[in-house]
Structure 1
């Protein structure tokens, strides 16, 4: 190996390029920017302002945060529903005026003051809700109009009644406590806002109404099509926003003991900036209450910090405007280009050098030399099945296979001409195995491990396994369950081919060639699935050895078969069986004479073997070319191989002309015949095997024969 190739191997083997793509797919990455901004703002102002972290300063900040956070929470809910509310500042001011009027003009109790502020907010929110939700007016323009009207009403009322409020001799201790008091050292306004925020978070993330709001924000047309009352939901979000603004006004009225011309001025811009900076999408449907609150802390800290540093009010507003513009630009650009970015960075090929092996060329001296015997296979269900990835027969000679339409199809014995849908599972049924009780265990791509009972009832056995402790990849979910087999004690061993791609993206995994497959074990006694082996290169076929003490499993992109001991003195040991094959192995099943059948889904080519040693070329290929022009493994030519326990190749079958079975993903021997499946085929093949045991069956070798 040359020095340059050694450097390439080291670079693409040990530099985890794939982590960037994995991180960008996570929902929590949307929090990265606001978290960074929050930490930067707090650390920055903490270092510039000497008494920034004092207790008194913290209490004052929390008191303001309580009032501001309520407004931001309400606006967040509106934005999650796909709207916007620019009238919150005016509603906030009217709520404050209503509260202080009840206390200082009418001499009413605190509960009435709070109720009046909330009622004013609800009424104003209802007006916006009717106009935007039911009359379908544009939210931006509508809420600007209501802001102007409500602000004008507030200015008229303050001019008319400000003197009565200022000269009132009412002293309400409870109202004063809400404004200035603390509970367990925390300001009353902050406690109220915290309780409300927790309730709002639970409401949005756990209730049906909350899911409706996010669905409407994501796509109103789709929400309408699935039966969500879109107009009522939009109306409801504006009412909540009005209530939040009114309640915030009540709290500031209690803190200031009055109102003035500047009450709520510019609050709508500050609240909108907080929501967008916190990660609430202007497009709707993306964000959370927690993100909105994070943005509220950022904006309040930034505003107070600039004021304490001596910046004028105009400078503060300019900073907020610039920050809002940057946040909007980032939000719009990221939403528009997220998929493009992921498509360019997610596929991260690694260096892989395939050793030279025997050839599969016809008429060669190689044990893998393909012949043309599969071309003579008789078709079963020609044109009646699509994608029979695996085939299996029961003790009554009925033939079962899965289809890409999510069905298990059964062809009835003796001639297999009558077809019926045995069970509908969904997904893409792949590898299958019969259990002792006659139930059919099925690996379903993208869904998990399932069981079909003799009465045809379908049960999901497993959809997840134990997650790796330090893995960024969510490897708890089963993404591509591929093949399964059952041990004597009932444990089900099955493969999950890759933890990075779903079943239909197997070609991407082949281009990347990263060992992310695994061997899993489901224990019916505990109902749990555990990971047995990791870091397998597209783990595929699984077969219980004839002695019942070990599992044979195939790694397709590594072109090898290995043995894992599940019992006996070698329990837990992995041993190589066949290496450096000229083809990509798929399913493995027992043969009647103590050997094993193995499918070749395709054959290696010099060009692709060379490409595996050039990960930089494959990476540029995925970024520059459309997927139809990518270099893939050759899956247009396959075959069937029979080997013994020592890994010696006994015979090889092929279809040189590709007329019947150019690609083979599975095969089963049953009573002297070989049944052949292929994931790209429209038939099941049946080939008579001269000299084979006419009484031997696969299920019988597991459960009835001694």
Structure 2
């Protein structure tokens, strides 16, 4: 299978599309386009410019009402009185204009105020008195509809025998802006503001959060009652705005004004993708649904279909939309889960023999079994370990802490820093700041006094990728070049810390090598589409960087300088396990940890993606596919990629799942993802004065000695 085929597949594309929020209204959008094409083909002059302008003018007023309903649904409520408030707005505008004789600007302000007051009544009952939105607005609907009938009976004759003498009022009814009816242009402007309000403002976020979980929003300190009150006030104002344009266009009112619009608006916004459960939806989705309902109603009427059939069709659509909304909300996660993992063939190089009698550098032994234990039960999963210039030992632990041990035998334990997330790879920069990869957060630093600061949490986005991959999803390991640039692995752009092993099982190049330049404070992706890059180590001469591919069981070298600059080559092709962190050795070699040992089952499954997919769905991966995680192993290899020796704990009792090792003053210190200790073992022939900091930055770099 080619590299491009491993990166892309129809199933992969579908799973990523299903995760995009904008993909949900694709079907309603296609329905809208289909309806427009159908009516254009069956109704004479339906697609003409004149008819399109006329339809826009008729639609805009209903669009305001649909938007009002959408705001209430997003907040987790509902407003069944939107049609009645629209009718009241229509009556109020005509009353202020024709009976009281107010100027147009005053009519507009007063009518909007009437809508706001009616919405405030609903908002007070629902937000502050905690009344149920459905029953509250149903009662409001009944009361307001009765009021409309009474007022129309009293003033119908007055409205019919008077006409306004105002150019501005006439413009509101029949005017256009750049060929677009004024009411439609105003609706579009309101939609833009509404989009910014919901997606970019704090109050919009709070409104959505309340709709998703009112209890959680309250615990988060959101002013739930005030936001709900404001939502219904806004709903009333939007309905009144639609009523103003309707009054200016029709110049009349009757008992049927806005009748049934609440149910049409509800059908529209749910059909567009605004959830009945609350907490999900956009103004654009509401408008897509509103256009569908409007076109369907208008088209059926123009085709001579009786009104009662049209109402029945709208009712059926509402039932279908509600059913789909409930089912999709309940099962969307399951659907994404079933399609998200997409294994690809990943044939590995043959695994070298690890048998004790094999005579190879990989032969199992017991050299790690008797390693000295540091901080037993005082450290939780030290994925990486490192020592500073004062011989203090640091471990990055699963509880979000950096633990520091000091003293002659490391008997003193302290929490050096609490970063959060899952701290992983670490390295000291020339100023003795501890730079740390944190899964789910990015790259952070800890100053010598324990102060935590952010280095970077994003890189440049891959322009052709469907999902935004600019966020650093799982920064894993890092190293620092002579020029201060920080090279680090982002091992997967599709999975999180708790599910990252699925990336290895998937067998696709979802990872990348990223570099941060402190001089420019810019982060960029150096290598994209890499197979689970894990351990990172800048070579002794600083001209290249070594990269461990955990899924391919290989070590790569990426050239930073020289004639092969920018090229990536395989340094070690055959390893008996899954490589993790890489670090320098005092004699010019390198240390490598193997987090798991390959098994025949693992090697066979990597060649059969269909088998892996079926097994992933039925059996926990640690029961059939996970390599031998109960083995601890580190290797030493040369600059040329020749493996010289291996150190093992085949029992896994002391040091299983080894992920890191650091040489320091003649000892190698061991860290493991699941271990409850840090190991230390003497290295025969190692330089007893060699430290990692001095190898990188020179002795006394900080104080100038």
Length-normalised TM-score, structure 1: 0.96
Equivalent in the alignment of 2:418: 424
SS at match of 2:368: helix
Equivalent in the alignment of 1:347: 341
Shift of 1:455: 3.1
Shift of 1:629: 4.9
Equivalent in the alignment of 1:602: 596
Match of 1:285 among 275, 279, 292: 279
Shift of 1:453: 2.2
Equivalent in the alignment of 1:138: 132
Shift of 1:343: 1.4
Deviations 1:540-569 (A, max 9, x none): 111111222111111011111111111122
Between the aligned partners of 1:479 and 1:636, the Cα distance in structure 2 is 27
> Structure 1 residues 213, 544: CA separation in 2 closer, same or farther (over 3 Å shift)?
same
Deviations 1:519-555 (A, max 9, x none): 1111111111221222222111111112221111110
Equivalent in the alignment of 1:696: 690
| Residue 377 in structure 1 maps to residue 371 in structure 2 | yes
| Residue 677 in structure 1 maps to residue 680 in structure 2 | no
- Stretch moving more, 108-117 or 90-99: 108-117
| Residue 462 in structure 1 maps to residue 459 in structure 2 | no
Match of 1:519 among 513, 522, 535: 513
Equivalent in the alignment of 2:248: 254
Q: Contact 1:480 / 1:498 at 8 angstroms: preserved in 2?
A: yes
Shift of 1:177: 2.2
1:206-605 to structure 2, matched below 5 A, reads 206-605=200-599
Unaligned runs of 5+ in 1: 1-5
Between the aligned partners of 1:181 and 1:262, the Cα distance in structure 2 is 25
Between the aligned partners of 2:348 and 2:432, the Cα distance in structure 1 is 41
SS at match of 1:376: coil
- Stretch moving more, 607-616 or 466-475: 466-475
Q: Contact 1:473 / 1:500 at 8 angstroms: preserved in 2?
A: no
Between the aligned partners of 1:665 and 1:581, the Cα distance in structure 2 is 15
Q: Contact 2:365 / 2:648 at 8 angstroms: preserved in 1?
A: yes
Between the aligned partners of 1:91 and 1:235, the Cα distance in structure 2 is 16
Match of 1:127 among 121, 124, 127: 121
Between the aligned partners of 2:129 and 2:533, the Cα distance in structure 1 is 57
Between the aligned partners of 2:680 and 2:266, the Cα distance in structure 1 is 68
Shift of 1:68: 1.3
Q: Contact 1:12 / 1:615 at 8 angstroms: preserved in 2?
A: no
Q: Contact 2:90 / 2:240 at 8 angstroms: preserved in 1?
A: yes
| Residue 656 in structure 1 maps to residue 644 in structure 2 | no
Between the aligned partners of 1:9 and 1:123, the Cα distance in structure 2 is 63
Between the aligned partners of 1:389 and 1:132, the Cα distance in structure 2 is 51
SS at match of 1:195: helix
- Stretch moving more, 143-152 or 195-204: 195-204
Shift of 1:293: 1.9
Equivalent in the alignment of 2:110: 116
Length-normalised TM-score, structure 2: 0.96
Q: Contact 2:634 / 2:647 at 8 angstroms: preserved in 1?
A: yes
Between the aligned partners of 2:5 and 2:638, the Cα distance in structure 1 is 39
Q: Contact 2:7 / 2:510 at 8 angstroms: preserved in 1?
A: no
- Stretch moving more, 338-347 or 312-321: 312-321
Shift of 1:652: 0.6
Between the aligned partners of 2:80 and 2:347, the Cα distance in structure 1 is 61
How many correspondences in the alignment? 700
> Structure 1 residues 14, 285: CA separation in 2 closer, same or farther (over 3 Å shift)?
closer
Between the aligned partners of 1:14 and 1:230, the Cα distance in structure 2 is 44
> Structure 1 residues 338, 690: CA separation in 2 closer, same or farther (over 3 Å shift)?
same
Shift of 1:320: 1.4
Match of 1:612 among 600, 606, 610: 606
Q: Contact 2:7 / 2:529 at 8 angstroms: preserved in 1?
A: no
Shift of 1:81: 0.5
| Residue 180 in structure 1 maps to residue 170 in structure 2 | no
Q: Contact 1:677 / 1:685 at 8 angstroms: preserved in 2?
A: yes
SS at match of 1:374: coil
Shift of 1:216: 0.8
Indicate the RMSD between aligned Cα atoms, in angstroms: 2.0
Deviations 1:249-271 (A, max 9, x none): 12101100111222111111111
- Stretch moving more, 292-301 or 656-665: 292-301
Match of 1:50 among 38, 44, 48: 44
Unaligned runs of 5+ in 2: none
